[in-house]
Structure 1
Amino acid sequence: MPRPASDKRERLTAAAIELARSAGFEAATIARIAQEAQVPSGSVYYYFKTKEDVAAAVGAGIAARLAAVRAEHPDGPREALSAFLRSYLGDAAATVSYGTLLSTASAVGGADAHREALAWIQERFEGLGFPAAAARARALHLLAGVEGGGALAHALGDAEPLEREVAHLERWVANAGT
């Protein structure tokens, strides 16, 4: 049964993200995106006229995925931060193989995903009572720590650095402001 045309852009974006993450952005060719999304190659050009359009879609798609993960955790700020950190563990196998989603966004110039994650994390620390500057510093520390753990896990081909960093940061968050 054919898929509805309305989800074609989403499928193309998802395919481009997966190709960029698993094989590098250079591998996200029009032909491979079309094949991965199971659409005719000509359809890709309707949505993505240039490689820059593909890069923008990858960056925006990753930002949207991460925003959805953050939105799933509407609890208090401490619980939301812990859930955000645990989401990295849920993606640990892919991180070991390909790097984090944010590292993929970075590879295509998607700094918006980082900015949005930092702003969200900062808001959670502000919700714990930290002034804006201190909340910003803590947000930078948390994101640098978990992304660094992900980068090391990828480099070593072992999830242990990510697992240890998430555990450490969860303890740090649990004690923040107490």
Structure 2
Amino acid sequence: MPRPASDKRARLTAAAIDLTRTGGFDAATIARIADAAQVPSGSVYYYFKTKDDVAAAVATGIGHRLAESRADLPGDAREALTGFLRSYLTEIEATVTDGTLLATASAVGSGDAHRAALAWLQERFEDLGFTAAAARARALHLLAGVEGGAALARALGEAEPLEREVAHLERWVANAGT
């Protein structure tokens, strides 16, 4: 009987993401990743030979998490945009203390998660009837607003800036193209 596939890489990646989000990339040491994933330290080196490999796994893992969460949003463009905004409130305590997943991806030097989010947002605005250029401008505005609100919430240690920005952008999306 074949041996079941190991979930070690997934556990190691999740541990590296959590450590990076809560303590910065420097906190994602091999020993701490191994401990958090409950695997021997030597196993980490099998999957991540260098710190750059850890950074790539963090960025890719975050990209996958965010893509999965966007895939779960409603098909209607306006509802999907609103759902995207509200997703920032589902992890508001973690965002206030640790920042957003996109900010964590930036901490390891990858803009891929931001580019994917922008592309997805632009597609939703195009679905609402905006030209590609107008949809991109709106996508940039929305992402800058919500990520900025999250950054300010983290800096102040309080949720209000993010809550207000999400509420403002929800109204803005509700009136987009009407």
When the two structures are superposed, what TM-score results if normalisation uses the length of structure 2?
0.97
CA distance in structure 2 between the partners assigned to 1:132 and 1:5 by the alignment = 43
Deviation of 1:93 (Å): 0.3
Residue 128 of structure 2 is matched in structure 1 by: 128
Indicate the SS of the match to 1:56: helix
Distance 1:62 1:142 in 2: 20
Partner of 1:104: 104
Deviation >4 Å, runs of 4+: none
Q: C-alpha displacement at 1:113, in angstroms?
A: 0.2
Secondary structure at the residue paired with 1:95? Answer: helix
Is the aligned partner of 1:158 residue 2:158? yes
Instruction: Name stretches of at least 5 consecutive residues in structure 2 with no aligned partner.
Output: none
Q: Which amino acid aligns with 1:54?
A: V
Matching residue of 2:114: 114
Aligned length, in residue pairs:
175
CA pair 81-74 structure 1, distance change in 2 beyond 3 A: same
SS of match in other structure, 2:7: helix
Q: CA deviation at 1:5?
A: 5.3
- Mapped to 2, the partners of 1:75 and 1:168 lie a distance apart of 22
Question: How far is 1:91 from its partner?
Answer: 1.0
The answer as to 2:53 corresponding to 1:53 is yes
Gaps in structure 1 of 5+ consecutive residues? none
Please report the RMSD computed on the Cα atoms of aligned residues, expressed in angstroms: 0.8
| Fraction of identical pairs, as percent | 78
Match of 1:20 in 2: 20
> Which amino acid letter does the alignment assign opposite residue 133 of structure 2?
A
